[in-house]
Chains A and B, each alone.
Chain A
Amino acid sequence: MISGILQYEFLQNAFLTGMIIGIIAPLLGVFIVVRRLSLIADALSHVTLAGIAASLLLEKKFIGLSGLNPLYMGMAFSVAGSLFIEKLRAVYKHYQELAIPIILSGGIGLGVIFISLADGFNTDLFSYLFGSVSAVSRLDLWTILIISVLVIALVVLLYKELFLLSFDEEHAKASGIAAKSVHFIFIVMVALVIAASMRIVGILLVSSLMTLPVAASIRIAKGFKQTIFLSMLFGEISVLGGLTISYYIDLAPGGTIVMIAVLILIATILLKKLAGIKPA
């Protein structure tokens, strides 16, 4: 496979992109999980689907738009979806979790309409749903790289604020930090990372790359920084392992990546159990 990576550009694109999202998806995933917002990732990935379907539809109906990269429209929809979620959370103050199913079903509804209107796509929709080793272009790779640099820089710069917002939202607001702005930046970052990850893991499985490595790391980590570090490590192992297996057996990488993440999760739970049996 190493020779394959050296030889074929599409494999380079897939593995480099995979390495990047294996880091940034769990990085944001840690904050999502501890803030109990796991389902937001699901809602936004379905909105991203609507964006991609819209882009493919435009591409099919208007020949002039054939160069349109679905990634951009997916990102635009995802970011718009994240803003709608925030609006809805403000409207339904006492039922904040309602925002998620509303946006999720809205996203699917819109996506299904676009797909039906297009009467089937030339591009393999399957690869968007479950990921693909061959579909990542060089342009996708560059776009995702830029987003990742931005996201990592923002998380490092806003680490204190993001930590406080996650640990104790009320205290964050009371102590006068710009909680609203930080949260806004955070949710837009989540939207971008979801759109960036969908080429590799697929829309239906994006959220698992953000939550499963975190679920495993939270079982065994000491402290928040270690939780982040282990999550990124588990994410990276899942993505690289999953891509390798999918390349050899010709499976959709979304499935193999997620199954490795599940195995890691089970291993950490067992590890913790075994450690608990030993007398302290």
Chain B
Amino acid sequence: MEQPIIEIAHVSYRYEKENVLEDINLTINSGDFLGIVGPNGSGKSTLLKLILNLLKVQKGSVKLFGQEISRFKDWQNIGFVSQKANSFNTGFPATVFEVVSSGLTKKLGLFKFMGKADQAKVMRAIESVGMHEYAGRNIGELSGGQQQRVFIARALVSDPKLLILDEPTVGVDVKNVQSFYEMLDDLNKELGITLLLVTHDIGTISDKVTHVACLNKNLHFHGNTAEFESLNKNEMSEIYGHDVHVLTHNHDHHHHHHHDKGADR
């Protein structure tokens, strides 16, 4: 049934003397579309780096596809679209097709050329993000949102089972955010790709996500979208704000009594 894709158990992380993450417990199952929201400095990027094995787990455990991260090898199952993807050299003379093709570089291996099947695969990836009309256009001619879709296609072309997106709506016009989420929804529902999306902007989290987690050093809430929407204002300001009170959710995470000084880090 629901196969766990990411299992994070009792993970804490500290840089020098400051705790960035405290006792995080989070499970993402196959087919989930999880949005993680948290203010700047809430430990979002640290959490992502732990999941991507860019940082070593200090305390607790992280499992990917049921395997301890230290022994995990199948990285081609994980696609990652970094926040930096949209700070590339926009004058670069490459078409959308060429950019997406570059996502196959590692998979094809040295001295191998793209065959017909690979080209078809590239076109499918471009279609799945709704950019097929732009396949022959130079990447620099596109809007920020369209470029973001191209980078998602590049990540998709190697058939990942899990796609991780860091602040994907940065650089996307407000009026296009909705259709951007619809595209992600299609990837999730039609292609069955598990999605993990991280953002600091709570306003851009859409009803398309199936689960929401709020992070601010601790994991404050992890539930489905309906539960998230029923959170009242106090609870929201508490996640983002200053005084942390007791949370009573029927979830198996820890409740905390403390004043969070790290909110505006």
Contact = CB atoms under 8 A, between A and B. Distances in A.
Contacts of A221: 93
A223 B102 contact: no
B98 A224 contact: yes
7 contacts: A164-B105, A166-B92, A167-B102, A168-B85, A171-B85, A224-B93, A227-B93
B136 A222 contact: yes
A178 B110 CA distance: 9
A91 B214 CA distance: 42
Interface string B8-27: 00000000000000000000
Contact of A223 (B82, B104, B138): B138
Contacts of B136: 222-223
B111 A223 contact: no
B108 interface: yes
A177 interface: yes
Given A34-B92, A160-B114, 14 more contacts: A34-B93, A157-B110, A158-B110, A160-B102, A160-B112, A166-B92, A167-B92, A168-B85, A168-B88, A168-B102, A177-B106, A223-B95, A224-B94, A224-B95
Contact of A167 (B80, B82, B94, B97): B94
A4 interface: no
B93 A176 contact: no
A223 B105 contact: no
Contact of A176 (B84, B106, B137): B106
Determine the interface band of chain B, counting residues with CB < 8 A from chain A.
20 to 34
Determine the interface band of chain A, counting residues with CB < 8 A from chain B.
20 to 34
Interface in A251-269: none
A84 B91 CA distance: 29
Contact of A170 (B84, B98, B138): B84
Interface in A90-139: none
A175 B95 contact: no
Contact of A218 (B85, B93, B99, B111): B93
8 closest residue pairs by CB, A with B:
A223-B95, A227-B93, A224-B94, A160-B105, A175-B106, A164-B102, A164-B105, A157-B111
B17 to A, nearest CB: 26
Contacts of B80: 174
B89 interface: yes
A230 to B, nearest CB: 10
A222 B190 CA distance: 33
B115 to A, nearest CB: 13
Interface in A171-193: 171-172, 174-178
A167 B88 contact: yes
Given A168-B102, A176-B75, A221-B93, A160 B108 contact: yes
A174 B92 CA distance: 20
Contacts of B101: 160
B93 A223 contact: yes
